[in-house]
Structure formats: C-alpha cells, structure tokens
C-alpha cells in the first residue's frame, strides 16, 4: 500500500523520528527534494541503485575461463 500525501513548496513530510523530506523546489515537471536522514541510512536515486545492482549481477557472470582471458590479455600488452 502506498500512502499518498499532497504537499506545497517548503512543506515537509516526517517519517518516523528522524527522517524528513522537504519540497525545496518545483520547476515544470521536476521536483527538488531535500532529505534529512540519519547518516547510517543510504539515500540513492532509485534508477542508479538498480543499475548498480544489475551491473553487479552481470559482473559475477564471468565464465570460468576468466584466468585464461586475463592471461591472453597479458600477452597482448
């Protein structure tokens, strides 16, 4: 379930004790958010986080001939 709230410029949403999300700017179809959260909470743009997850998944799909690839690279240099 998603909670939907309407906010105006400079209004804030409080999440729990220590997370605040403030609307700091509205320009056309872009909204600027100011996020205050405890430093142990990582805040990321979702698409960037997903991209890194995906790249990590791909990075472990190296075949077992990795050592062979690296060896042949060495010969080329």
Partner 1 sequence: MNIDTKYFGQVTIKEKDLFSFPKGLPGFSSEKKFALLNIPDNPAFLILQSTTDVNVAFVMISPHQVDQNYEVKLDVATRELLEIESIEDVHLLGIITLKDTFSESTINLQAPIILNHKQRLGKQYITNHKAYSTRTPIASVREQGA
* Interface ranges with partner 1 (CB under 8 A): 39-40, 42, 44, 48-49, 51-60, 62, 64, 66-67, 69-74, 76
Please give the order of strands across the beta sheet that includes 12-15.
Answer: 12-15, 19-27, 30-36
Residue 27 CB, nearest approach to partner 1 (Å): 19
Total residue length of the chain: 77
Secondary structure (3-state) at 24:
strand
CA distance 24 to 45: 17
Residue 15 CB, nearest approach to partner 1 (Å): 18
Identify which of residues 32 and 54 has a Cβ nearer to partner 1 in the complex: 54
Identify which of residues 17 and 40 has a Cβ nearer to partner 1 in the complex: 40
Helix (H) or strand (E) holding 53: helix 46-59
Identify which of residues 6 and 76 has a Cβ nearer to partner 1 in the complex: 76
């Amino acid at each position: 379930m998603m909670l939907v709230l309407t906010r105006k410029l400079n209004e804030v949403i409080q999440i729990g004790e220590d997370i605040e999300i403030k609307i700091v700017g509205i320009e056309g179809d872009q909204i600027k958010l100011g996020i205050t959260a405890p430093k142990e909470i990582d805040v990321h743009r979702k698409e960037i986080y997903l991209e890194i997850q995906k790249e990590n998944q791909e990075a472990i799909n190296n075949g077992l001939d990795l050592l062979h690839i690296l060896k042949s690279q060495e010969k080329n240099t």
